[in-house]
Amino acid sequence: MKPAPATGVHLAAGARVPSASPAAAAGEAHVSAPTSYDAVLLAGFGGPEGQADVLPFLRNVTAGRGIPDERLEEVAVHYRHFGGVSPINGHNRQLREALEAALAAAGLDLPVYWGNRNWDPYLTDAVRAAHDAGHTRLLMIPTSAYASYSSCRQYREDLADVLEATGLAEAMEVDKVRQFFDHPGFVTPFVEGVRAGLADLRARGAERIEVLFATHSIPIDDARRSGPALLPDGHASDWGDGGAYAAQHLAVAGVVMDSLDEPGAGWQLTYQSRSGPPDQPWLEPDINDAIEALTDRDAVLIVPLGFLSDHMEVMWDLDEEATETATARGLACARVPTPGVHPDFVRGLVDLVAERAGARPVAERAALTDLGPWFDVCRPGCCENVRRGFRPAIAGVAP
């Protein structure tokens, strides 16, 4: 089950990073000493696998926010449209299997444990299973590539919750790979997908195509705090209202478009899946509003840039709602696949494990934007949740 929020963290003597390996404990932005890991922990969001799971799952996701079941049912209908089954658990089973095989092929003898933040199998079960098997030093791969509270820090907080709830905070060391938004393994599947999607739309007669990169919207107050307030060189970061979250997406979208010979295609970053109160500003434009605003296009290509696999937000918000909006406007529409278990993506995750285990020098790390390679250890003040403040978290310097 989902554990209660942690009240504290374990700090080894002289350490600045809770429950960290010796190489990461001092809190340097990039580790410089190799680390022998026992296993990889694949950390997922989780999703229901039947109609009876839907409301309990949504209660887990919104725990502590006091949202009544009547409002949760408004979201539940999206899951019920697909039989109450989210595709995310199935995708993560495939990813775990592919990752374990690729690690073995690369000579990295590391089992992969998979656990979710919000549904069975829970992270609690995965960490206990790893410990019971004698594994005490884990490298976590969150199934999210970008900087923000919900896509990075919340994973770190949930691991702190797990370590306290299991009583394993002193017995286990858990590090986290860097955010991999601009690793070639993550970006290449989108490049291939956009190229194929544009060719498909042109074969269907489209001449004026808008490429709509889509990611989950977040509150602007949270977006401003995504990424660190101070960079490792001591200078203040200046990401703008979208924070590092928007900056990373824009940088990756730019790389994708620059890699293609498509001078006639326009592009923009759009957002989806807003869920907050009407008076709370969230990142915009919503993808449906962006489609409605198009005046000189005959087709749209939707790119789920913020997603590793087909979440419910991809299947409903993009494949259903955004596609319906485009169709109503008379626009041809196609959607690019998510990375899923694309071989380049899986090999990219293996490269991140090898990079961290071997303490690869920063100059030799794979990154396609000027923002990367991102930090091994999250910086102080990184990705605060405005409503909750800073809660105990692993894999970063407090707070």
pLDDT, tens only, 272-286: 999 878 889 999 999
At 89, the pLDDT band (50, 70, 90 cuts) reads: very high
Residue 231 lies in a domain: yes
What pLDDT shows up at residue 14? 93
Q: Is the pLDDT of residue 229 over 90?
A: no
Task: Scan for tokens 């986290």, then name that residue.
Answer: 176
What's the rounded Cα separation, in Å, for the pair 195 and 71? 40
Q: What is the largest CA-CA distance in the chain?
A: 66
Measured CA to CA in angstroms, residue 334 lies from 136, 201, 319 at distances of 45, 7, 9
Is 251 part of any domain?
yes
Task: Identify residue 210 by its one-letter amino acid code.
Answer: E
End-to-end CA distance of the chain: 26
pLDDT of 237: 79
CA gap 398, 392 in Å, rounded: 8
What phi, psi does 331 have (nearest 5°)? Answer: -100, 135
The token pair that represents 325 in the structure block: 């909006």
pLDDT mean over 220-243: 84
pLDDT range class, residue 261, cuts 50, 70, 90: confident
Q: Supply the pLDDT for residue 20.
A: 98
Q: Report yes or no on 229 lying in a domain.
A: yes
Which tokens hold the place of 224?
Answer: 């401003």
Other Cβ atoms within 10 Å of 85 Cβ, number = 18
What residue numbers bound the domain in which 321 lies?
A: 184-335
Residue 87 lies in a domain: no
pLDDT tens digits, one per residue of 36-60:
999 999 999 999 999 999 999 999 9
Whether residue 231 is predicted with pLDDT greater than 90 in this model: the reply is no
Confidence of residue 241 (pLDDT cuts 50, 70, 90): confident
pLDDT class for 236, splitting at 50, 70, 90? Answer: confident
pLDDT in tens, 156-179: 999 999 999 999 999 999 999 999
Structure tokens at 71: 């409002």
Q: What is the mean pLDDT of the chain?
A: 95
Give ∠ CA 373-376-380 in degrees, rounded to 5: 110
Residue 197, phi then psi, degrees to nearest 5: -65, -40
Is residue 73 assigned to a domain? no
Q: pLDDT value at position 63?
A: 85
Q: How confident is the model at residue 31 (pLDDT cuts 50, 70, 90)?
A: very high
Confidence check: pLDDT of 235 > 90 = no
Q: 325: pLDDT confidence band, cut at 50, 70 and 90?
A: very high
- Per-residue pLDDT band for 338 (boundaries 50, 70, 90) equals very high
Instruction: Answer whether residue 269 shows pLDDT above 80.
Output: yes
Please write the tens of the pLDDT for every residue from 92-105. 999 999 999 999 99
135 domain-assigned = no
Residue 292 lies in a domain: yes
Residue 226: CATH number of its domain: 3.40.50.1400
CB atoms within 10 A of CB 309: 23
Question: How confident is the model over 105-134, as a mean pLDDT?
Answer: 97
CA distance 14 to 22: 10
Residue 353 belongs to some domain of the structure: no
Nearest Cα neighbor of 329 from 304, 301, 302, 298 is: 298
Least confident of 19-28, 235-244, 370-379: 235-244
CB atoms under 10 Å from CB of 238, counted, come to 7
What is the residue type of 1? M
pLDDT at 230 over 80: no
Domain count, the chain: 1
